[in-house]
Structure 1
């Protein structure tokens, strides 16, 4: 079978139009899926402060310690988890533990809390400033605890730090 130019052209034109339509649909979908990262609202900040205070009071009452936004907090958070102080149905307090974990990571890395909105909804995220690289410590513990698991806080911290390392600003004094 021998095709002539006039037989091929309509086929190519339809194919080109279909390809262009698919490309535009993909571009629109990608734009919709792109996250919107913005500063926390006053309400977000107040809520997070209250949640951290709740965890600090819990740690003071149960263990006689307090949160310092340092790696020492990881041991306190682990004790709260291991002793089953928070019921597995109490997701709000579990998320407060995640905020305390996030504050440790923020202090260590210089990351900042932001409002992160995408097609899945709005969340509080810990992000490397001026990038799209974010971590969601609020749910790191609660998702595991709500199904009855006892997450290893130090392991989650270490894995997060390892994952973030390539995206964090380097000090001019780093030897690596």
Structure 2
């Protein structure tokens, strides 16, 4: 019997060590690689060409882009199975958020994998706009781009640097 007790204690110790290691593992946030930057630029260019071809407009990395993205979603311009283009739309949404907040794109790696994320400087407060639209569109939903933008801005507000001219 003592042999079984030692074995059980050993298993519990291993499980605790694994649980502790998992709990302590933090996300690794690093600068985007050259490849990341080139890929993202090509994806934004794809969305800009889509906007030009469908609506005769162009992306400006401003809140006016939100209406263009919504028109693309509403008209079903991007196929349900075209996740890559859906993610490109998310990058365009992310560029608007970045421009409005001063957040920057980073590579975010955790136990779930590596993603591109918008992060508040010198924090682990990050947003994942690349998949904000694609996760919804790939299952046949028509997300409200302005609502996603507003909810993101509201969620981020406590973590963003305040201007000395902001009224409290």
TM-score, normalised to structure 1, is 0.86
The aligned counterpart of 2:22 is: 29
When the two chains are superposed, the root-mean-square deviation of aligned CA atoms in Å is 1.7
Post-superposition offset of 1:26? 4.3
User: CA–CA distance in 2 between the matches of 1:31 and 1:103?
Assistant: 31
Structure 2 SS opposite 1:102: helix
Could you list the runs of 5+ residues in structure 1 that have no partner in the other structure?
A: 1-16
Aligned to 1:62: 54
Quote the residue 2:147 is aligned against.
Answer: 155
- 1:26-79 CA distance string (max 9 Å, x none): 4322223x1100000000000000000000000000000000000000000000
Larger Rg: 1
Give me the whole-angstrom Cα distance separating, in 2, the residues matched to 1:145 and 1:29. Answer: 32
Aligned length: 159
Structure 1: 4+ residue segments shifted above 6 A:
none
Give the drift of 1:25.
4.8
TM-score, with structure 2 as normaliser: 0.90
Unaligned runs of 5+ in 2: 1-8
Residue 53 in 1 paired to residue 72 in 2?
Answer: no
Q: Give 1:172 deviation, angstroms.
A: 0.8
